[in-house]
Amino acid sequence: MPVTLQSSLALPVRALTWLGGQGTRAIAALVFFGIAVPPLGELLKPFVTEAVFVLLCISFMRVDIAALRDHLRRPGIVLAATAWTTLGVPLIIGVSGRAAGLDAHSPDLFLALMLQAVASPMMASPALAAVMGLDSTLVLVTLVTSTALVPFSAPMFAYVFFGAALTLSPLGLGLKLAGILAGSLLVAAAIRWTAGASAIKRHAAPIDGLNILILFVFVAAVMGSVAGSFLADPVGTVELALLAFAVFFALLGVTVLIFRRIGHDRALALGLMVSQRNMGLMLAATDGVLPGPTWLYFALCQFPIYLSPQLLKPIVSRLSAQEVAPAVTKALN
C-alpha cells in the first residue's frame, strides 16, 4: 500500500478502533443520540436498506468457519431455535393477546405486538452478539434459517389473528430478503477471499467500530419522533416504553430457559437474537401504513435492543469467567 494512502487511512482506522473499543457503551449511547438529533434521522432514513446490507456483509465476513461446520453437522439446535422464534413466539403472543382481549380494547397495540412477534430476528443481532463476545455464528445461522421462513410464516399468522384486515406481500418480502442475503453473502465471501480470515481477525476492533456506526443508521431513522410523543403524552409514552422492555426481557428470559442445556452463553446468544425482532421489515411489508401508536411502540422497542448489550454485559462477563475457570483448573491438573 502506498505510504500516502496508508497515512491517510491511519486516522479513520484509529477512530474506528477507539469506537470499537467502547463496545456496549457506544451502542447504548446510540439511542440517546438518535433522540437528540431528529434531523439526522430524517437524513439517514433512505439508507436503512444499505445499512442492513453492510451489517450482514460484516456478519458473514466474520463467520467462524469451524464453528459453522460444527453447527451444520449438528443442526438440532439451529432447527429448534428456528422453530421457536418463527412459530413459538408469534403463537404465544397472539394467543395471549387474544385471551387478554387486547385485540378488542387496544387494536393498535395488538397490531404492534403481533408485527413484532412475526418478524424475523434483527439483521444486526449477529453484530451485537459479536460485540458482546457471544456466539455470533450460531446467531447468524439461525437468523438466516428463520428469515427464510418469514415470507411464509408472517402472512399465515397475520391471517389467523387479523383475517384479511392486514395485507402482507410474501412474494415481495421473500424476493427482497433473498436478494439481501445472497448479495451480502457474495460480497462477504469476496472480502474473505481477498483479505483473508487472519487479516479480518487482526482488524476486529475497527470492524466493531464500523458495526457501531452502521447500527446508528437504524436508531436515528426511527427515534426522531420519540421526543415529540413524550412531550404530547408523557404517561402513555412511558407505559409503552415499559411494555417494550417487558416484552424484550420476557422473550430473552424464556429463550434462555428453553435452551439452557446447550450452555448458558449460547442460550444467552439465542435469547438476545429472539428478543431483537426486525420490525423494520414488517414496516416495509405493510408499506408503512400503520397507526401512530404502532409506530411509537416500534420506536420505543429500540431502547431495550440497544441498551441490552450494556445491561447484560456483567452477565456475559460472569459466564465467561465461569467457563474459563474449569478449563484453567483442568489444564493445571
Q: Do 291 and 111 touch, CB atoms closer than 8 A?
A: yes
pLDDT of residue 19: 79
The number of C-alpha atoms within 13 Å of 238 and in the hemisphere containing its C-beta is 4
Query: 279, 289, 306, 296: which is closest to 226 by C-alpha?
Result: 296
Query: 213, 202, 207: which is closest to 136 by C-alpha?
Result: 207
Residue 153: CB atoms within 10 A of its CB come to 18
Query: 212, 218, 269: which is closest to 22 by C-alpha?
Result: 212
When the pLDDT of each residue in the chain is averaged and rounded to a whole number, the result is: 79
pLDDT of residue 7: 54
pLDDT of residue 144: 81
Domain boundaries along the sequence of the chain: 42-319
Calpha distance 45→252 (Å, rounded): 28
pLDDT of residue 117: 92
pLDDT of residue 286: 63
pLDDT of residue 80: 94
Residue 138: CB atoms within 10 A of its CB come to 25
Q: Quick one: CATH architecture of 42-319?
A: Up-down Bundle (1.20)
1 forms beta bridges with none
pLDDT of residue 289: 61
Residues of the chain where predicted confidence (pLDDT) is lower than 50 = 3, 5, 324-333
pLDDT of residue 283: 67
pLDDT of residue 83: 95
pLDDT of residue 259: 94
pLDDT tens digit sequence for 289-325: 667 788 788 888 888 887 877 777 777 767 655 554 4
Report in angstroms the alpha-carbon separations of 223 from 6, 216, 218, 270, 298: 37, 10, 9, 26, 9
Residue identified by cell 410523543 is: 229
Integer-rounded Cα Rg, in Å, for the chain is 20
pLDDT of residue 66: 73
pLDDT of residue 13: 78
DSSP 201-239: HHTHHHHHHHHHHHHHHHHHHHHTTHHHHHHH-HHHHHH
